[in-house]
Structures are given as C-alpha cells and as structure tokens.
Chains A and B, each alone.
Chain A
C-alpha cells in the first residue's frame, strides 16, 4: 500500500460575532506561543496528530461580496495529512479533541448534544469539510514519520563523513557509514525497510479512471480545436478564407466580451468590502508580515470572490480541474509549473461556489515565492484568478494579468488572510531537503556496491 497524502479543509461560520472572535483569539494565543518557542523542531511533540504535515486555523472576517450580500465571519481549519480522510477524521475527533473542541464550539452547526464529544466533533468536521478542487504535493509518497526519519539519517551520514577517520576506499567507507547509521537508528535491520515508493503510483491507482477521462478529453479538445482549425485554414479550398475570417471574428468578439467583463469585475471589486483604504492596507500588511519568516517555511492563505457571471465560474472550474490533473500526473517531481518551493498547495471553492480559496505551504520568502510564480507560471495563474474580482486585466484569459508582477503581487497581498495558527511538522526542511534526504536514505537502504552509484551517493552528502 502506497502511503498517500491528502488535504482537509473545514469552513464553518463563527457563532457569537465579535465576542466569539475574541474568545477564539484567546484560545489561539497560547497555542501559537507554544509552536513558536525555541528548541529543535524535531524534538518537539507533534501538534494535533503524528500524521499531520501542516495545519492552520484562519479567521475569515465578515465580508460583503460583489453581489452585495454580507457574509458572516468564518473559521477555516485546514490540514495536510497522511492516510485516508476517514482515518484522519477519526484521529482528529478522538486524539485531537482536547485542542479542537474548545475551538469549534464557537462555530455554527457544532452540536455538542449530537453524542459523545468524538461523535459530535467528527460529525461537525465531516459536515463542514469542503471538497478540494485541485491538490499539489511537492514531496510525494512520504509520511511525516518518513520525512523526519530521513532528515535524521542524512544528518547522521553527513556527520560520519565530517568526523573523518573513515576508510579511503569508497565502498568500505560507505559500508562503515551504513553500519554507524544503522547502529544509531537502533541496530541491525533499522535500514531494511523498503526504499521509498515511486512518486506517481499512489494517485494514479486512486484516480486511474479520472486520469484516462481527463487526458482523453484534453487531447481530443486540443487536437480538434487547434489543429482542426489550422488544417482547415491551411487548405487552399474556398473554405479557407471564410473560416479564418470567422475565427478572427470569434476571437475578437470573445476579447470584447472579456473586456466588458473585466470592467464588471472591477466594479464588483469596488462594490465588495475587499477594497481597503491606505490605513487599512497598512494594518493588513502589518498583520500578514507579523506571521512571516519565523521559519524557513512560510504559508499562504488567499480568499477571492469569483465573478458573478456563470461562464466565468464554469471556466474557473475547468482551469482548476486542469491544474489538478497536471499536479497529479505531471508535476510529480517537486515542481509545480516550474515552481520548486511548494510542499502542498490546494484550491477549492466555497460559499456556494462564490469564493475561491488557495492554500499553500512553501519554502523561503513570500517575495521569492510570488516572483517564482510570476516568472514560471504567469499564464496558469492568470487563467485561475482572472475570474475573480479585482484581478489585473487579462487578454484572451491567459495573457496580461499576472505578467504585471508588481500589480499581481499587490492583488495577492490584498487578498491574503493572516493565519491565527500555523503548524509545520518540519519547518526548517525545504522540498529539496526532503528530496535529497530520501535519496541519501534510499542509498543506504539499497546497500550500494557499484562505484559510479557510490560516487553519486557521496556527492549528495
């Protein structure tokens, strides 16, 4: 059985207005302090569960949407975890209940009388869990335990080399390191577990059907639309010219529609309560910054209102579905559209399809993360967010938009929501660290003998 990582997002309205939000703040403060205190991260007790990679609580303030409707404040809880959702919910409802119960008590729909606490909590989590549209994993197929153990193995192997006194012969040197690491891990057999699974099978098996449908649909649509039209035009038949003309006319018409709709989106943005004055922006920025760069890793939570037009919402779904396919079957080696710094990222819509949520855990600074996106993935970004109010103007859905780096960054910043609490099970490891640690650990597990492989292995230390 290939270990699988998943994500859970629970969104529920907060009951009791300002008072409840203050109460929640009081609950989060000591937890936050506990997560930020000094000491090596790998010696700390896990937060909530041993299977949780990342967890966060975010309070979404009351907001008025572009439709003029007032939304109540919501509590957002999101985890990225190992195993199945059922097991995860069970574990949360039992083991994590002491932390979660006092928090979710403040949410509408939490029925403390539904049964014993675990039952009530489980029912609540299940009822308010929102389906994920697209999910990306940076380091595939590795559990929290594995990531933390392989980090240890890497440090041990490195320490052996640095301590010196090893045989000069590569093979002998490797055997000595392997022996010492094995001893530190608890004796013979500690390195005998199977090497890490290939990164792709897990989800392929789970969603084989969807993959086939997805690829086929994409291929057929792409080939039919583009090549069909091009071949038709290229032919010297009498049809060529009119078809070309019609194509140009349709594109021009779509472009006009897009322009009009962009105006509508801009008006909608102004109508919503998202537009902050400069004082409000300052405060918002300060609150975001206060949570950032505490560790090597950072997090991002962004909420945007989708445009009111059904076509926009349908297009958004299509694009995010495409991203999910890509994330699941293409970007399996630690790069999402060329961006190397993402541990997990996911998209979903909530609020009856009216709001888009983006959640990610990434390496390094916000600025470098956003710049990576602008440099490598401006088109997919634009394709996703151009359906939201306030996004920089686009042309033909994928041009313009995020290519205006500074404007896109302002947009992203304005729609980002500061977390009340954010937890990482390995806050100082980068995606590359995890990747390399696995290779080093697998190299030890495999009992290498080939000189070329040995040289390669030593180069990784």
Chain B
C-alpha cells in the first residue's frame, strides 16, 4: 500500500494550520431547501481550498450527519459513517463519555444542541473562513451569504473572532503558546519529522498505524453516481472534525493561582498544570524556570526519564493529553509510543473573543479583573476514529479521575468538576522531592459552550454532494 496522499483532493486545512493567516471566522449553517443548498455547495466548492498549499485566504466546509441527511444523501451511505458521527456529540451516553454533564450539559450550550430534533441549536454544516486579519475573515464570511442558493440557508457566526496568533505563534487566553505538538502525516510535505504518523490516523481510507485502512463511509458499487468516487469510498481524503467551543475563565484561573502566591510561584504552578511554560517550553526539559523565548519550543522530548513526574507532573495537561513514551501502567517506552501513535489528533484550534486587558502577562490579567465569559477556544481537531482518538483522550486520559493510579485527579486545566457521579471536584497532585504537593478541589476553568462532530469531505466527495439535487 502506497502512503502517498492525494493532496489535491484533501481540504488544505488538514495539511496546513494557516499560522500565517491570523484571522478566522466560523459559520454554522442550517439548510432549508435541499436543492438550493446543493446549488450553494456547488458555488462553495469552487472556493474551497484543497492541496498542500499556502493561500492568503481560505474557505473550508464540513458537515454534520443531520446536514448530510438534509441534503438527501443515500441512507446506506449515511449508515456507513462511524457511530459517534451518526449519533452526534450531544447524545445522552456521549455526555457521560465526554464529561458534558452539570455545567457542561448540552442543555446549556449556545449551539450544537436543541431539545427536540428541529430546534434552532442544531447544525447542518460548518464553514470555516481564514484570512490575514479577523476583519478580512469576517468580510469573506459575509460573502458566503450572497452566493446563489444561500437565500434558503441560515448562517450564524459561532463567536466573535479574536485571533491570538502573534507573528505566526498561536496563543490562547490563559497566556500560553498553543498548538505546538501536532503530528505530521507520512506522505505529506511535513513528514520529514521523526514523529510522523501514518496518514490513516487522520485521513479516511488510508493505511493507519496498525497497517489497516482507516474505516471510511462507503457506497455500494453501481449505486448512483458511484463512478465519480474511486471504489465507492465516500470518505476518502476526508476526515472527522471535532468542534468544541470551550469558554476559558481567565480571571478565575489566575486569581486562583495568585491566591497567597508571588508572581513567580503562580506562574510556576500554572506551568505545572499545563506541562509547559507560557512560552511553550516543556517542563520535561526545563523543570526549574522558563528558558528564554525560542521560536521552536520543541516536540522531541518524552517523560520516560521522569517516571514520578518530578519535572512534569503526571497529571499535567499536556502529559495527560499525550503521554508520549510513558503511558501509565504500560511497560516500556516502545510500547507506550506504539499506543500514543494510535491516539494522536491533529489540532486546528483557534482562540475567539477579546483577550483580557494585559494579556498575556499573568499579573496584569489578574489585576484587570475582567468578567469571565465571551472568550475561549474553538477547539478543532481532525481524526480518523473519533471513538479511539478524540473521545479516548477526553474520557480515559483527561477526565479520568484514576489516570495513572491516582485517587481523584482529573485534568487540572480543562476537566469538568461539576460531575458528581465521577467523583465531583477533583485535585491536582504535584510530586516534589520532599513529598507531594496537592491542590484540592480545583475550580472549573473551562466550560463547554457548544460543539458538533463533523465530516470534512475531500473535493470529489464535496462535488458529489453538490450534485445530489
């Protein structure tokens, strides 16, 4: 099996994180008349970027299961998508898997869920627009509603754009550099990296790390229009896109850390929680103090030499989300790496909303005392298997109170604390030479505001969808 990727058919966002495009505007779409929606899609298809390129403006589209159904896609193809995608993010059982209970319950979301099957919260498709500035992206997003066929579609922007990319370095509202460790795909430009993973971990219809083709929605040979898709592989060159709007409570975060602490100690504690210093330098390498800012924060490190978490706590956010060469309860770095390579996700998140005055200086942010709300992260990630990648990380690594044999620790940054059945408020343990230092009953710093499981099709499949009617 060749691993070269048909890049010309892959939407560029999967191949390129657009660090040079600081602006972004995300729209959620509700389709009305299916024929006109298809008309709109055929116009949109001309504008969607594919191929491994570096455009100065980009448009991308992804669909939810209900969106594909609304277009009139064949029931057999719809049924061949993976279960999480078919069920959607807000299905009752998924809430327990994802920790979307209590404050994070879909009933409180701004979008992505409505009681009843036809409420206003639901999403049929997402259009993601990128440009050099937020204003440019917003203007480009406006143009979408002028395309032929758009008159029957309802457009809503997800949240106020608010880019925190500075000079190509992505930031986030707590004041940390973000999106550092992302897997490179074999068969693409970036695959020189030693950590490159098989394309089938992200793209559908390609060989994955187990040497099997990633599961992909398909259609029976001879079905109408199947000729336009090779081997009836409907998902080929596409990927599942997880979207979660996570509100960040910057005030709550820093005022908690500054309680009775000097600035240096507060920042050190924050770094212990994150697993990296604000400038992105990993604690695994710089455990004592933040090194001078560097452009390359480094991704080639592990935790095997730090089994007790004295440098980077075992429960730190980045160590939980990707334990690299030391998966808890697994013997040996080799075995760990084999496991983590099958759990990677390709993150494409962007901050939204205005930063707290003084960002990214912790002391100033804390002093600004800005009310929480209205800012956070549009967490976006691609993966080929939502269940064993995104959901696994969320459930078994981030939200798991028993991670690495701990008693009641969950992710110090993003976990849901309002979850009585899962132990309620949780702790964060920092192993230190003289014993353990434990932060008890952490407040909730991140709150779920809306989300959806989407499918971002390849160009050929998008064309097929546009011609459904």
> Is B truly associated with A?
yes
Q: Does B210 contact A (CB under 8 A)?
A: yes
Chain B binding surface SS class: helix
Besides the known contacts A367-B395, A406-B385, 18 further A-B residue pairs in the complex with CB atoms under 8 A apart: A38-B420, A162-B440, A292-B93, A292-B96, A293-B96, A293-B97, A340-B329, A364-B396, A365-B392, A367-B387, A367-B391, A371-B388, A371-B392, A375-B338, A405-B388, A428-B401, A430-B402, A459-B436
A293: B residues at CB distance < 8 A: 93, 96-97, 395
A90: B residues at CB distance < 8 A: none
The answer to whether B402 touches A365 (Cβ under 8 A) is no
Q: Which of B97, B395, B402, B436 has the most CB of A within 10 A?
A: B402
B422: A residues at CB distance < 8 A: 295-296
B402: A residues at CB distance < 8 A: 296, 363-364, 430, 432-433
The answer to whether A278 touches B79 (Cβ under 8 A) is yes
Residue of A nearest to B343 (CB): A371
Report Cα–Cα, A461/B405, bound state, in Å. 12
A418 to chain B, nearest CB (A): 12
A297 to chain B, nearest CB (A): 10
B119: A residues at CB distance < 8 A: none
Q: Does B83 contact A (CB under 8 A)?
A: yes
Report Cα–Cα, A367/B338, bound state, in Å. 17
Residue of A nearest to B92 (CB): A290
B125 to chain A, nearest CB (A): 24
Q: Does A29 contact B (CB under 8 A)?
A: no
Which residues of A are at the interface with B, using a C-beta cutoff of 8 A?
38, 154, 158, 161-162, 278, 285-286, 289-290, 292-296, 338, 340, 363-365, 367-368, 371, 375, 403-406, 428, 430, 432-433, 435-436, 458-459, 461
- The 8 Å CB contact of A406, one of B215, B395, B396, B436, is B215
Closest CB pairs A-B (n = 4) = A432-B405, A289-B93, A293-B96, A430-B402
0 or 1 for each of B86-119: is its CB under 8 Å from A? (1 = yes): 0000001100110000000000000000000000
Report Cα–Cα, A295/B391, bound state, in Å. 17
B421: A residues at CB distance < 8 A: 294-295
Q: Does B438 contact A (CB under 8 A)?
A: yes
Q: A296-B422, A368-B392, A461-B436 are in contact. Are A406 and B212 (CB under 8 A)?
A: yes
Chain A binding surface SS class: helix
A368: B residues at CB distance < 8 A: 392, 395-396
The answer to whether B339 touches A294 (Cβ under 8 A) is no
- The total of interchain contacts (Cβ-Cβ below 8 angstroms) comes to 79
The answer to whether B329 touches A365 (Cβ under 8 A) is no
A436: B residues at CB distance < 8 A: 405, 407
Residue of B nearest to A158 (CB): B407
Q: Does B358 contact A (CB under 8 A)?
A: no
Report Cα–Cα, A436/B436, bound state, in Å. 15
Report Cα–Cα, A296/B396, bound state, in Å. 10
Q: Does B25 contact A (CB under 8 A)?
A: no
The answer to whether A459 touches B435 (Cβ under 8 A) is yes
Interface residues of B in 375-430 (CB under 8 A from A): 385, 387-388, 391-392, 395-396, 400-402, 405, 407, 420-423
The answer to whether A296 touches B423 (Cβ under 8 A) is yes
A406: B residues at CB distance < 8 A: 212, 215, 385
Report Cα–Cα, A368/B394, bound state, in Å. 11
- The 8 Å CB contact of A294, one of B96, B335, B387, B401, is B96
The answer to whether A365 touches B395 (Cβ under 8 A) is yes
A38: B residues at CB distance < 8 A: 420
A294: B residues at CB distance < 8 A: 96, 421
B329 to chain A, nearest CB (A): 4
Residue of B nearest to A297 (CB): B402
Residue of B nearest to A435 (CB): B405
Residue of A nearest to B420 (CB): A38
Residue of B nearest to A170 (CB): B435
B100 to chain A, nearest CB (A): 12
Report Cα–Cα, A158/B79, bound state, in Å. 51
What interface size band does chain B fall in?
A: 35 or more
A340: B residues at CB distance < 8 A: 329
Report Cα–Cα, A293/B422, bound state, in Å. 9
B438: A residues at CB distance < 8 A: 162
Residue of A nearest to B76 (CB): A278
- The 8 Å CB contact of B210, one of A295, A367, A405, is A405
Instruction: Supply 11 A–B pairs (Cβ within 8 Å), ascending by A.
Output: A294-B421, A296-B402, A338-B331, A368-B392, A368-B395, A375-B339, A405-B388, A430-B405, A432-B405, A436-B405, A458-B435
Report Cα–Cα, A296/B97, bound state, in Å. 11
Q: Which of B97, B338, B396, B422 has the most CB of A within 10 A?
A: B396
The answer to whether A296 touches B339 (Cβ under 8 A) is no
B376 to chain A, nearest CB (A): 26
Residue of A nearest to B429 (CB): A461
The answer to whether B435 touches A433 (Cβ under 8 A) is no
Report Cα–Cα, A364/B391, bound state, in Å. 13
A324 to chain B, nearest CB (A): 24
A403: B residues at CB distance < 8 A: 210
A56 to chain B, nearest CB (A): 19
A158: B residues at CB distance < 8 A: 407
A295: B residues at CB distance < 8 A: 421-422
Report Cα–Cα, A72/B436, bound state, in Å. 57
A371: B residues at CB distance < 8 A: 388, 392
- The 8 Å CB contact of A433, one of B92, B93, B407, B431, is B407
Interface residues of B in 316-346 (CB under 8 A from A): 329, 331, 335, 338-339
Report Cα–Cα, A289/B422, bound state, in Å. 17
B332 to chain A, nearest CB (A): 11
A436 to chain B, nearest CB (A): 7
A364: B residues at CB distance < 8 A: 395-396, 400, 402
B396: A residues at CB distance < 8 A: 364-365, 367-368
Report Cα–Cα, A404/B423, bound state, in Å. 35
- The 8 Å CB contact of B212, one of A296, A367, A404, A458, is A404
Q: Which of A158, A285, A436 has the most CB of B within 10 A?
A: A158
A367: B residues at CB distance < 8 A: 387-388, 391-392, 395-396
B423: A residues at CB distance < 8 A: 296, 428
A164 to chain B, nearest CB (A): 11
Residue of B nearest to A151 (CB): B407
A377 to chain B, nearest CB (A): 13
Report Cα–Cα, A336/B407, bound state, in Å. 22
Report Cα–Cα, A436/B396, bound state, in Å. 20
A404: B residues at CB distance < 8 A: 212
B392: A residues at CB distance < 8 A: 365, 367-368, 371
0 or 1 for each of B176-194: is its CB under 8 Å from A? (1 = yes): 0000000000000000000
B32 to chain A, nearest CB (A): 28
Residue of B nearest to A291 (CB): B93
Residue of A nearest to B392 (CB): A367
